Amino acid sequence: MDLIEEIKKRSSHVDKGIEEYLPIDKPYELYKAARYLPDAGGKRLRPATVILAAEAVGSDLETVLPAAVAVELVHNFTLVHDDIMDRDDIRRGMPAVHVKWGEAGAILAGDTLYSKAFEILTHAPAEAPERNLKCIDILSKACRDICEGQWMDVEFENRDDVTKEEYLEMIEKKTGVLYAASMQIGAILGGAPEEVSDAFYECGRLIGIAFQIYDDVIDMTTPEEVLGKVRGSDLMEGKKTLIAIHALNKGVELKIFGKGEATTEEINEAVHQLEEAGSIDYVRDLALDYIARGKELLNVVEDSESKTILKAIADYMITRSY
Amino acid sequence: MDLIEEIKKRSSHVDKGIEEYLPIDKPYELYKAARYLPDAGGKRLRPATVILAAEAVGSDLETVLPAAVAVELVHNFTLVHDDIMDRDDIRRGMPAVHVKWGEAGAILAGDTLYSKAFEILTHAPAEAPERNLKCIDILSKACRDICEGQWMDVEFENRDDVTKEEYLEMIEKKTGVLYAASMQIGAILGGAPEEVSDAFYECGRLIGIAFQIYDDVIDMTTPEEVLGKVRGSDLMEGKKTLIAIHALNKGVELKIFGKGEATTEEINEAVHQLEEAGSIDYVRDLALDYIARGKELLNVVEDSESKTILKAIADYMITRSY
């Protein structure tokens, strides 16, 4: 089974779905701004899990395609607004939306993506309207969690006493809940009973958290030529990642933490200190544990090709090198 | 019948509903920022029309209170984001949300209000889930229209050739559709048949447009001590209001248009020119016509106290002096 191929098979339908459900209409520039990021690609992991979850409970792509598109639009909405807040001017190798259309344009493009996501979800074909309503409830709660997570993230920048629990809550909200919602929505629209859709939610939550904390490991262990940015940049920026929190709690003194720049030698020394303190292994093991637990939860449904692909996606979260 | 008293009777429930459905939870500052504008008051005309529409079709406040709160939160969401875009630092006599919590805080506070509105609407008690789903569809489309309207408004600032039709489309989207959605949602959740809820939508749309264009008249005709700002400020700012469009089309040359400042004498002269050209009467008559058509549509339901109050709200739109 070729994971990338299996994801592409589904994401090509998502691409067409975006064109169909979010046409570039008047005022054209608004819709061009809204479509800019979704059209730029991305891995489409979230809509893929919506579709695979539906397949794994015996349903099909057609039933959940609108919902898959809705989830992808919500993801892109958060990127557009986050980039304004974080002053990130580059996204997917291109100028961010607020760079191209100004801040007002980016706020409106994000709001438009948001509205469209809910509009599409009301039209998702479900056998019972209760299912759509339940999915809208899940997605609106996920959006609220994402706002809370982003708020915490911004707040953490000015705090030195962020705990492991607070960090995990923040990334659960910023990243975990949308994977959780994706899998649960796929299961619900696919007609699964509550025990299955609840297990899928929890599976998505764990996978999403693992995805995010493994990012911290990648930042430490991946060479610059693969990563596309300097190794250890999180440390130099003084980011309170889980690795940093673990190390600081162990009393490790990192000379380059928050210093903004460092020589390769200093970075190597810091990474060595983190290895010695067991901070990198600690976070890697935690990610592995989350993935193992997430995969285990998938056994609530019978074996199928889609279930195998979902497990492969889970593994991909912690084997990717960038 | 005391209109203000009748609105207050209903808005006190909306106030309690906001506290109940949008509690100030962790992270507290995010929810304080989200609650700041809704708690600062406002006329609550939109939620009042949701409730009155439900009453007028034989339903009651309890059935539609969550939906009324949802509409009020959407209205406040648009104010929070619009104030960032328009750089308006004062709202309801207080510092705007972005002044108190920064721009990132205001973007997130707005997004939170948005998510919450949809979440609340999924829980609105309706006898049939199809009704909730229909209302979510209406509200999400209204939100998208508001984005389109705000985009057009921003774009018009840099154009000299805005037509009457474009201006009316812009204010229909910025203001009309949320009144339209309010009345339609009240009717649908109240169990009205489609012909009634469609007529209520159209009534709300006309009332909302009249509300907005009558603002232009107020800017010209209300003395400074009542208006709270200099008379004719729209002219000095060079705003393409319907009065300005009408006058410019008639070849009226307004010396102070877009000049930023003017003496009282110059303003009086400009207002006199607009009166001579019939521009103020033209817009006042248009607003009166919209209101008359809106009220007529209410006759799709039998006479009732709620219907009388709705008609009084319609009249209020064009009799208020500020």
Angle, CA of A285, A290 and A291, to the nearest 5°? 95
Sort B263 into a burial class: Cβ within 10 Å, 0-12 / 13-18 / 19+: exposed
Q: The tokens of A20 are what? A: 């169909």
Asked if A178 has any chain B CB less than 8 Å from its own CB, the reply is: no
d(CA A249, CA A240): 12
Using the beta-carbon criterion (under 8 Å), do B108 and A85 form an inter-chain contact? yes
Least confident stretch, A157-166, A195-204, B55-64, B134-143: A157-166
CATH assignment of the domain containing B37 = 1.10.600.10
Question: Region B23-31: what's the mean pLDDT?
Answer: 97
Q: For an interface test with B, give the residue of A25, A108, A152 to mutate (most B CBs within 10 A).
A: A108
Question: Region B263-270: what's the mean pLDDT?
Answer: 92
Using the beta-carbon criterion (under 8 Å), do A147 and B118 form an inter-chain contact? no
Instruction: Put residue A95 in one of left, alpha, beta given phi > 0 → left and psi -120 to 50 → alpha.
Output: beta
CB B246 within 8 A of CB B164: yes
Using the beta-carbon criterion (under 8 Å), do B111 and A85 form an inter-chain contact? no
Q: Whose CA is closest to A151, among A175, A174, A178?
A: A174
Structurally, chain B folds into a number of domains equal to 1
List the single residue in B27, B129, B136 with the smallest CB-CB distance to A118.
B136
Using the beta-carbon criterion (under 8 Å), do A137 and B119 form an inter-chain contact? yes
d(CA B321, CA B277): 22
B94 pairs with which residues across the strands?
Answer: B91
Asked if B295 has any chain A CB less than 8 Å from its own CB, the reply is: no
Using the beta-carbon criterion (under 8 Å), do B112 and A144 form an inter-chain contact? yes
User: Is B22 among the domain residues?
Assistant: yes
User: Is B33 among the domain residues?
Assistant: yes
User: Is B88 among the domain residues?
Assistant: yes
pLDDT given for residue A124 in this prediction: 83
Q: Residues B68-77: pLDDT tens digits?
A: 999 999 999 9
Q: For an interface test with A, give the residue of B114, B116, B130 to mutate (most A CBs within 10 A).
A: B114
Q: B144 to chain A: which residues are within 8 Å by CB?
A: 112, 115-116, 119
Q: Whose CA is closest to B111, among A35, A20, A234, A118?
A: A118
Domain that holds residue B206: 3-317
Q: What is the 3-state secondary structure (H, E, C) of chain A?
A: CCHHHHHHHHHHHHHHHHHHHCCCCCCHHHHHHHHHHHHCCCCCHHHHHHHHHHHHCCCCHHHHHHHHHHHHHHHHHHHHHHHHHHCCCEECCEECHHHHHHHHHHHHHHHHHHHHHHHHHHHCCCCCHHHHHHHHHHHHHHHHHHHHHHHHHHHHCCCCCCCHHHHHHHHHHHHHHHHHHHHHHHHHHCCCCHHHHHHHHHHHHHHHHHHHHHHHHHHHHCCHHHHCCCCCHHHHCCCCCHHHHHHHHCCCCCCCCCCCCCCHHHHHHHHHHHHHCCHHHHHHHHHHHHHHHHHHHHHHCCCCHHHHHHHHHHHHHCCCCC
Using the beta-carbon criterion (under 8 Å), do A29 and B151 form an inter-chain contact? yes
Q: A103 to chain B: which residues are within 8 Å by CB?
A: 84-85
Asked if A166 has any chain B CB less than 8 Å from its own CB, the reply is: no
- Band the pLDDT of B224: cuts 50, 70, 90: confident
Alpha-carbon distance B255 to nearest alpha carbon in chain A (angstroms): 31
Q: Tokens 């209205």 label which residue? A: B75
| Residue B78 predicted with pLDDT over 70 | yes
Q: Whose CA is closest to B150, among A38, A33, A73?
A: A33
Asked if B98 has any chain A CB less than 8 Å from its own CB, the reply is: no
pLDDT given for residue B322 in this prediction: 67
List the single residue in A29, A119, A147 with the smallest CB-CB distance to B115.
A147
User: Is B159 among the domain residues?
Assistant: yes
Asked if A133 has any chain B CB less than 8 Å from its own CB, the reply is: yes
For residue B27, cis peptide bond before it (omega within 30 degrees of 0): yes
Q: Residues B149-208: pLDDT tens digits?
A: 999 999 998 888 999 999 999 999 999 999 999 999 999 999 999 999 999 999 999 999
User: Is B322 among the domain residues?
Assistant: no
Using the beta-carbon criterion (under 8 Å), do B143 and A114 form an inter-chain contact? yes
pLDDT given for residue A225 in this prediction: 79
Nearby residues of A109 by Cβ (< 8 Å), 6 or more positions away: A30, A33, A34, A36, A80, A97, A101
User: Is A322 among the domain residues?
Assistant: no
Question: Region B274-292: what's the mean pLDDT?
Answer: 97
Using the beta-carbon criterion (under 8 Å), do B27 and A116 form an inter-chain contact? no
Positions in chain A short of pLDDT 50: none
d(CA B283, CA B59): 36
